[in-house]
Amino acid sequence: MNKSWWKILAIVLVLFSITGGLLFPVPAKPILNESIRNIHFHVPMWFAMIVMLLVSFIYSIKYLNKGDENDDLMAVESANVGIIFGLLGLVTGMVWAKYTWGEPWSNDPKQNSSAIALLIYMAYMVLRNSMEEEQKRGKISSVYNVFAFPIMIVLLFVLPRMTDSLHPGNGGNPGFNTNDMAPELRPVFYPACLGWILIASWITTLRYRIRKQENLIS
């Protein structure tokens, strides 16, 4: 993971999404207008968060299996970066919502549940910091983390579908969805998601390595 090709790829992909996202033609929709371009910047934040939390989940299971302290460190740091990207997603979403839905927080089911999901992960950090002994802290917080991930998935992808949501693609069966994303958005949207996921992974590895050095010193 120390090789730099994927870091350069991450930068290239995000740069492409900045230029393509602002310049390429987009579908003209009322209310949304040009703000439809936000999809290349707001949504990838959430994708990056979900992938980082998935990494955290996997490393927590690994830690519970083998008890390697480094796995626990990786789980914490990826959850940390996931929370940062989640907060960015929340704030950018609120700016976007202010100018399309009328107010930054309209108690939309997806807005509410994503805020709850973030609080669950913040509680993970509080739980960790409340314990002194390393093994105890690692085990208890890993078990918490293993439960937090499925709850986050349910909050973000299942519950908003049960009711009507302002977010597109919610409510009803996704299998029969005719209002999918417009095809002209996809060539920019997918690279943007991949690019931001890689950037988030990069920051995670940096934080993980710093943490490891700190542990070696103390």
Partner 1 sequence: MKKILVTFCFLILASIATFAQGSGGVEMATELRSSGKIYVVVAVLATIFIGLAFYLFFIDNRLKKIEKLQK
Residues that bind partner 1 (CB under 8 A): 2, 4, 7, 11, 14-15, 18-19, 22-23, 28-30, 33-34, 202-203, 206, 209-210, 213, 216
Closest approach, Cβ 78 to partner 1, in A, equals 16
Closest approach, Cβ 43 to partner 1, in A, equals 17
Closest approach, Cβ 13 to partner 1, in A, equals 11
Closest approach, Cβ 101 to partner 1, in A, equals 17
Considering beta carbons, is residue 175 or 217 the nearer one to partner 1? Answer: 217
Considering beta carbons, is residue 20 or 171 the nearer one to partner 1? Answer: 20
Closest approach, Cβ 64 to partner 1, in A, equals 27
Q: Are 109 and 165 in contact (CB under 8 A)?
A: yes
CA distances from 187 to 12, 151, 176, 199 (A): 14, 31, 23, 19
Considering beta carbons, is residue 175 or 216 the nearer one to partner 1? Answer: 216
Q: Are 159 and 113 in contact (CB under 8 A)?
A: yes
Cα–chain center distance at 42: 10
Q: Are 145 and 124 in contact (CB under 8 A)?
A: yes
103 is written with which tokens?
Answer: 């107010």
Considering beta carbons, is residue 3 or 66 the nearer one to partner 1? Answer: 3
Considering beta carbons, is residue 4 or 179 the nearer one to partner 1? Answer: 4
- If we measure between CA atoms, which residue out of 79, 25, 15 comes closest to residue 48? 79
Q: How far apart are CA 190 and CA 14, in angstroms?
A: 10
**Residue 66: which residues within 8 A CB-CB, separation 6 or more?**
none
**Residue 110: which residues within 8 A CB-CB, separation 6 or more?**
156, 160, 165, 166, 167, 170
